[in-house]
Amino acid sequence: MTYFRADEPQIIQVIRIILEVIWTIVLLHYELTKAFVKWTVPQEPKDVSEDVILITGAGHGMGREVALRFGRLGARVVCVDINDKGNEETLNMITEEKGRAYTYQCDVTNRDAVFALAEKVTSEVGEVTILVNNAGIMPCKPILKHSEKEIRTLVDINVNGNLWMIQAFLPAMLERNCGHIVAMSSMAGKMGLRNLVPYCGTKYAVRGIMESLAMELHEDPRDTNGIKLTTICPYIVNTGLCTNPRIRFPSLMKVVDPGEAADQIVDAIRKEYHEITIPSDLYYTNKIYNLLPVGAAKLMTDFIGTGLDPQ
């Protein structure tokens, strides 16, 4: 960015601006070319065998599926969940496949507990290099049916849990200029859905956190290029959270198998994608949808007829 001195002649200021515009155009072309190449040329997934990968909500569902896959790739997998039983089951499944895993119980809504977890994992396992913020809940009912406690719990787990984990693990990544933070948002974080008003709010918040963090790291005077961010936006995944999916065209908008979703998540992390949707074609479909006027978007929503009925 160009800064002007008060005593600098106006012609010099104009020249500075022109040079900055030219340089910005050059950089834009470079970034666009780089993005095009990345999109068209298959990337080699990074090796994670030396990584310490911490996954919250690892005791069931997507967290477990992702943990199993990283275990098979040779990573040291740190399984974090408030549910000890489910977490131990995940650990046993990883070790039965000759993987390396560790379990820790933690309530991600408790900031002190999260910071204590960070210290303990660092001393007992090593510095976390990939943080997967997966823990979340999804109550499904009309907004007026939610109690105050349900909404506060939803925000605490889905939003504050992400913030506390980032605050606890980002400092060490900044010191090393190395690390990867992954957030589980949702297609419900890209478009509003009936019966998921508070949930959609939390998943929009997760995307906002990750986008803002990307800008904060970009504008940090330190070199932060070694820190990667990935946001995952799955459609309806058959993990048990979505008990009453409503799908008019199952062949086009099918419920995604957890294993298939986990494969895509792990692939996105290993290729250091900035954001993905599951299925991948929803990424562009959603961008087109967002260009429509509000009335037209509602008509398309009525026609597609996809959503969740109350639990």
List phi, psi (to 5°) of 53: -110, 115
- Predicted pLDDT of residue 2: 52
Q: What angle do CA 223, 266, 167 make, to 5 degrees?
A: 45
For residue 168, give every residue at least 6 positions away whose Cβ sits within 8 Å of its Cβ, in sequence order, or none: 114, 115, 117, 118
Instruction: Please compute Rg for the chain using Cα positions.
Output: 22
- Sign (positive/negative) of CA torsion 272, 277, 280, 285? negative
Mean pLDDT of residues grouped by 10 in the chain (311 residues)?
A: 63 83 90 81 89 97 96 98 96 97 97 98 97 94 95 97 98 97 93 90 97 97 96 81 61 75 96 91 77 80 69 64
- Predicted pLDDT of residue 305: 65
Element (H, E) at 217: helix 197-218
Q: Is 235 a catalytic residue?
A: no
Residue 283 CA, distance from chain mean position: 14
Block residue for tokens 């998921």: 196
- Predicted pLDDT of residue 37: 82
- Sign (positive/negative) of CA torsion 154, 155, 160, 165? positive
Question: Token pair for residue 11?
Answer: 């012609």
Q: Which of 3, 104, 199, 289 is catalytic?
A: 199
- Predicted pLDDT of residue 225: 95
pTM over 0.85: yes
List the domains of the chain with CATH numbers: 45-308 (3.40.50.720)
- Sign (positive/negative) of CA torsion 14, 16, 17, 23? positive
61-72 helix and 84-96 helix, angle to the nearest 10 degrees: 30
Name the β-bridge partners of 33: none
Amino acid at 41: V
Task: Report the helix count and the strand count for the chain, using DSSP H and E.
Answer: 10, 9
- Predicted pLDDT of residue 251: 63
